[in-house]
Every structure is written in C-alpha cells, then in structure tokens.
Chains A and B, each alone.
Chain A
Amino acid sequence: MGEWTFIALLFIISLILPAVPIIAGRLLGPRKPNPLKNSTYECGVETVGDTWVQFKVQYYIFALVFLIFDIEVVFLYPWAVAYHQLPLFGVVAGIVFIVTLAEALIYAWRKGALEWV
C-alpha cells in the first residue's frame, strides 16, 4: 500500500497547488468591474457571427472514409503479425477483408466522395 499513499498524497497536493493562488486572488485582490473589463476579450476584436461555423461537408466525408481505413489497421496488424502461422483459410479471409474494403473505396470514389470541390 506504500506507493498508493504516496500517489494519494501527490493527488491531494496537486489539487491544493492550483487552488491556493486562485482562492488567494479572490480573497486578497481588489475588484472594480466595468463593462470593458467584463467583455470576452478585454483587448482584441469582438467575435462576429455564430459559433456554429460551417465546415465544408467534404471534411466530414473525408473523415468518415478515413475512419474505415483507420479501423482496417486494427484487424490487419494482428493478421500481419501472425501471418507465418496462418493456415490457407486465414490468408484468404484476410484477402477477402481487404477486397471488401477496397470495394467500399471504389464505391466512395465513384460517388464522388474523394473529389475536393
């Protein structure tokens, strides 16, 4: 349990360290608010427009296509590592998997998902 008490202590100290200056600032500092000080950026440009900035939909489509191949790696990595011991069926199964994903890519390509407009 020895190292755990140490971690617990560290956790408590790490909570206290930032808390002390914040609370001290609250208690000791003078407070004279005015509208200028309270604005989002005291010095700088006022924000304009909605926070819901429109990204191009293309970004989403690219991200989604990427996601598929990102996950593909999760399966291909163990497959590649165990490649030497795989029976024929294992190899074929992996190839079927890759072909299926390639098909998805063809579909995305033909539907125009890969063109940046």
Chain B
Amino acid sequence: MLDQANFLVPPIYYVALSGILFILGMVGVLLRRNAILIFMSVELMLNSANLAFVAFARSFLDVNGQVFVFFVMTVAAVEVAVGLALIVAIFRTRRSIDIDELHSMEG
C-alpha cells in the first residue's frame, strides 16, 4: 500500500527513522532516573509517532494522519502542563526529582 514512487525520499525511510526515535525514547524512559529526562523521552516517543503519521499521510495523500498529529501535539502540550506542575511540586517538597527516591509506599 505504501507507494514508494514519486517521492524524493521514500516514506518508509521516515517511518524507519520514527521507529528509531521511538525506541530511543523508550530506552530513555527505562534507563533514566530523572523525572524531567524521563518525561522528555516520553515526548520523543510521542513525536516519533507524529513523524510516522505525517509520513503515512503523505504517502496515502490522506489528510487524516495530519489531523491526528494536531491532536497528539495538543495532548503533548497538556501533558507538559500537568507533568511540569507535578514535577515542580515534588521538587519543592523533596529537593529531588530522582524517581528512585520515590518509595514512601512499599508492600
């Protein structure tokens, strides 16, 4: 279904790049211990999906994929707002945003 002709750079290259970015973001979330860096890695994952959407939308000549990107961007912005507020609140009370230090509940 992916039409490779008529494009200077084939869409599948973009999809491959988005896959690499997604995996980088995932590795970042799993390895990093700083809440802000984890959050930035999540944003990288979201934006890799955006890249894939735009690439697919371009190759299908279909506008739906691009519309989806709008929604992902909005949600990402909302997550930034909520996430930063939470992180700032945590930093104010504990002077640290290392998630390994978050273990007041055990069981």
Contact = CB atoms under 8 A, between A and B. Distances in A.
Interface of A: 57, 60, 64, 67-68, 70-71, 74-75
Contacts of A60: 84-85, 88
Please classify the interface of chain A as helix (H, G, I), strand (E, B), loop, or mixed, using the class held by over half of its residues: helix
Contacts of A64: 80-81, 84-85
Nearest to B80: A67
B74 interface: yes
A71 B74 contact: yes
B77 A70 contact: yes
A67 B85 CA distance: 13
A68 B84 contact: no
Contacts of A67: 77, 80-81
Interface string B53-81: 00000000000000000100110010011
5 contacts: A60-B84, A60-B88, A64-B81, A68-B77, A74-B73
Contacts of B74: 71, 74-75
Residue in A60, A68, A71, A74 whose Cβ sees the most chain B Cβ within 10 Å? A71
Nearest to A65: B81
A46 B91 CA distance: 26
Contacts of B80: 64, 67
A94 B74 CA distance: 16
